[in-house]
Amino acid sequence: MASSPPSGSVHRRSAARLAAVQALYQIEMTGAAPEAIIRDILERRIAGQALMEDGETEREISVPLVEPDSAIFSVLVRTVATRRHDIDGMIDAALSPGWTPERLETIVRCILRVGIGEVLERPDVPVRVVITEYVDVAHAFYAGPEPGLINAVLDRLGRRLRPHEFKGPGHGASG
């Protein structure tokens, strides 16, 4: 059996990150148990379709959704669910004085939590990749300054949690 091409697995990992943010948002808004939300999202996404407007015909068309990598998605949601207090403390320490995680918009808070959870649980993924991925997720929700905030906080925390990735030639050790 042939494995899927690398680009397909990249898209599945990106879809897992977005799904994890959506799951955390649901958990926060409804108080539902993380395992129930994980199960619900994975069942709903399999062979999922989305309705989009065709730019040429202005008709709705059905397009397949990228299926998230279920293992990565589950790990990210569970990590944030079990380490939320610690993660929020890290966010609090990285924010400007007077700001707390509770003052952030819910989606921003969820993006930061999942991003930090990935830095903590996935040492195989470079911090810079994590930052780029979650800035991209932020762009899916925001056109304003929020992606810059996500970038700044994740960069600050990435440098604290994995300083070795920011040292050496061409890595810009300042920050």
Please report the domains of the chain, with CATH numbers, ordered by start residue.
6-158 (1.10.940.10)
In the chain, what is the straight-line distance between the N-terminal and C-terminal CA atoms, in Å?
46
Higher pLDDT, 93 or 61: 93
Mean pLDDT of 106-112: 97
CA atoms lying within 13 Å on the CB side of residue 159: 13
CA distances from 122 to 78, 115, 125, 170 (A): 13, 10, 6, 23
Mean pLDDT of 3-32: 84
- pLDDT score for 16: 93
Tell me the pLDDT tens digit for each residue of 21-32: 999 999 999 999
Q: CA nearest 87: which of 157, 159, 135? A: 157
Tell me the pLDDT tens digit for each residue of 76-95: 999 999 999 999 999 999 99
